[in-house]
Amino acid sequence: MAVREIIRMGHPTLRQVAAPYAEEQIGSDTFLELVEDMRETLHASGGIGLAAPQVNVPLQIAVIEITDPITRYGEIQTLPFEVYINPTITIENAATAGYWEGCLSLPGMMGFVERPQHIRVDYLNGSAEKKSIQLQGFLATVFQHEFDHLMGKLYVDRITDMTLFSFDSEYQRYHLNNSLNSPASES
């Protein structure tokens, strides 16, 4: 088990559509090692989500875990560690809202992105069970950011106002306290 290197924007793997994961491989030694490495890498990075392509594995697997809602994410609820395999997103309501997003593959940068805020996610978990969850608000943004990685997309592709793309220290200085929605994610 190991912390893996997180690849950064410019690496071609981040721009490739990841392959669906073979259901019969869920639970295999290779699968368990990848998930454990992704968990360790997520913890070592301080992020809340990590997609397999970010560790240069172009497969449709992502992990999300929110343990520390108060100090970093305002009123956002916690979310226990979960593995999301071959997830699909259904937009339940097209109304959008924006949040500042960061990404472990674009260290030191932040951008304001508007996304639908009411979605359903269908996926297989780490035990190959079919699951479906509804997400709203900031959590809906977190999941869309993460699953974009499985489709070769980065949050920068979705910034509509490039004046709201910023280095982190300038975000803290100039944008943090005047943004409409202040929670920021890094995944």
Question: Which CB sits closer to Zn ion, 39 or 128?
Answer: 39
Catalytic residue flag (residue 146): yes
Binding to Zn ion by residue 142, rule CB under 5 A?
A: no
Question: Which CB sits closer to Zn ion, 141 or 187?
Answer: 187
Nearest approach in angstroms of CB 149 to Zn ion is 6
Interactions with Zn ion, residue window 91-110 (CB under 5 A) = 103
Binding to Zn ion by residue 184, rule CB under 5 A?
A: no
Per annotation, catalytic residue among 36, 146, 170, 186:
146
Binding-residue total with Zn ion (CB under 5 A): 2
Binding to Zn ion by residue 52, rule CB under 5 A?
A: no
Cα–Cα distances (Å) from 138 to 41, 74, 142, in that order, read 23, 10, 6
Residues with catalytic function: 146
Q: Which residues bind Zn ion (CB under 5 A)?
A: 103, 187
